[in-house]
């Protein structure tokens, strides 16, 4: 019974990678943008309840953790990245959970949602993932600061797409948000979206550097209007990365955009999410704020690397009753 329940509850973790229809964007609606407000105390109070109120145990927890794995953008963005490291990461993305654990739970093999790398590592990742259906995401546009010359940022997108990246994670110019130049932000993201061609675009807001939750809300709307397929919290390089209050603001902007336009926009929290219990909290928030449709890799991703290690350790505990050392679940 335990194996059957886990298998049935986690079935969607085995679905092939698919995408929602592209977001065509809208003309910039400044009335809509400026109407966005954020009540910090209410947002923090709501965010503070989600982890305390929502708890899943035993086979249900295992099922949710398997689902979380299917939504991870397995990431390496280090200055000492090598093609060998990227190939090992891709091997883990193709086969993220030990087969003996999957067999004990009655599960077929699963994959992560994507592999995310710097542009220089895109060819190695594309070659390593050929035929698997796991897409390569490239960080672009002068990641992480976004302060390289504009023409080079645009060119970098095209180079990554030509190299085989199916998703492009761009960074916005934070100064446009901080100075309230929403037209400049819209024009920038619109041009970057066009340069992506058929590749899906995730706009990184670097929310820890935007000054206020209201700015986060307004930047979210502008990026969606400009054609973003995903909005993403952080580069992972800021001092403050993904948080539940920021996630709540961004998810509610996504919900509002969908209610007004019928277009589903994806969401990606990134940076600092390293524990299985944190992944469960984020998934509960997604379910409550956006609904079950967003609990799939084409509308929700975690930007993470060490998260997978902790999830796999939790799955081993579920199967065996014991926690194992981290080296038994190597990342590569």
DSSP structure class, residue 82: -
Selecting among 94, 229, 268, 310, the annotated active-site residue is 268
Selecting among 232, 264, 278, 310, the annotated active-site residue is 232
- CA 288 to chain centroid: 18
Selecting among 73, 169, 229, 310, the annotated active-site residue is 169
Rounded distance between C-alpha atoms, residue 97 and residue 68, angstroms: 12
Respond yes or no: is residue 92 known to be catalytic: no
- Nearest CA among 23, 27, 46, 28 for reference residue 258: 23
Respond yes or no: is residue 232 known to be catalytic: yes
Tokens matching residue 73: 């953008």
Give how far Cα 178 sits from Cα of 41, 95, 121, 332, Å.
22, 42, 32, 40
Helix H or strand E encompassing 45: helix 40-53
Respond yes or no: is residue 169 known to be catalytic: yes
Instruction: Name residue, tokens 């390289």.
Output: 148
Rounded distance between C-alpha atoms, residue 297 and residue 16, angstroms: 9
Axis crossing angle, helix 150-162 with helix 182-196, rounded to the nearest 10: 30
Q: Evaluate whether 219 touches 205 at the Cβ level (below 8 Å).
A: yes
DSSP structure class, residue 20: P
Q: Which residues are annotated as catalytic?
A: 169, 232, 268
């Amino acid at each position: 019974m335990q194996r059957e329940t886990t298998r049935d509850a986690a079935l969607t973790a085995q679905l092939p990678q698919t995408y929602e229809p592209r977001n065509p964007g809208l003309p910039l609606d400044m009335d809509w943008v400026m109407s966005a407000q954020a009540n910090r105390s209410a947002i923090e109070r709501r965010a503070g309840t989600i982890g305390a109120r929502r708890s899943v145990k035993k086979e249900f927890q295992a099922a949710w953790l398997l689902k979380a794995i299917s939504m991870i953008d397995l990431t390496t963005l280090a200055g000492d990245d090598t093609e060998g490291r990227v190939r090992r990461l891709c091997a883990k993305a193709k086969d993220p959970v030990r087969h003996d654990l999957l067999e004990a739970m009655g599960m077929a093999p699963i994959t992560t949602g994507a592999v995310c790398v710097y542009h220089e590592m895109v060819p190695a990742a594309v070659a390593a993932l050929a035929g698997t259906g796991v897409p390569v995401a490239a960080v672009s546009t002068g990641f992480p600061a976004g302060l390289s010359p504009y023409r080079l940022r645009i060119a970098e997108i095209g180079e990554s797409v030509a190299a085989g990246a199916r998703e492009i994670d761009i960074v916005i110019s934070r100064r446009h948000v901080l100075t309230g130049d929403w037209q400049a932000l819209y024009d920038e993201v619109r041009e970057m979206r066009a340069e992506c061609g058929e590749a899906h675009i995730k706009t990184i807001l670097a929310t820890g550097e935007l000054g206020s939750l209201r700015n986060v809300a307004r930047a979210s709307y502008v990026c969606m209007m400009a054609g973003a397929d995903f909005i993403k919290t952080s580069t992972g390089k800021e001092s403050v990365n993904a948080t539940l209050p920021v996630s709540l603001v961004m998810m509610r902007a996504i919900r509002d955009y969908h209610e007004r336009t019928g277009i589903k926009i994806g969401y990606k929290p990134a940076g600092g999410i390293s524990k299985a219990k944190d992944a469960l909290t984020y998934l509960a928030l997604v379910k409550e704020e956006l609904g079950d449709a967003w609990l799939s890799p084409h509308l929700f991703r975690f930007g993470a690397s060490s998260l997978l290690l902790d999830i796999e350790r939790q799955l081993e505990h579920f199967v065996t009753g014991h926690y194992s050392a981290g080296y038994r679940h190597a990342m590569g």
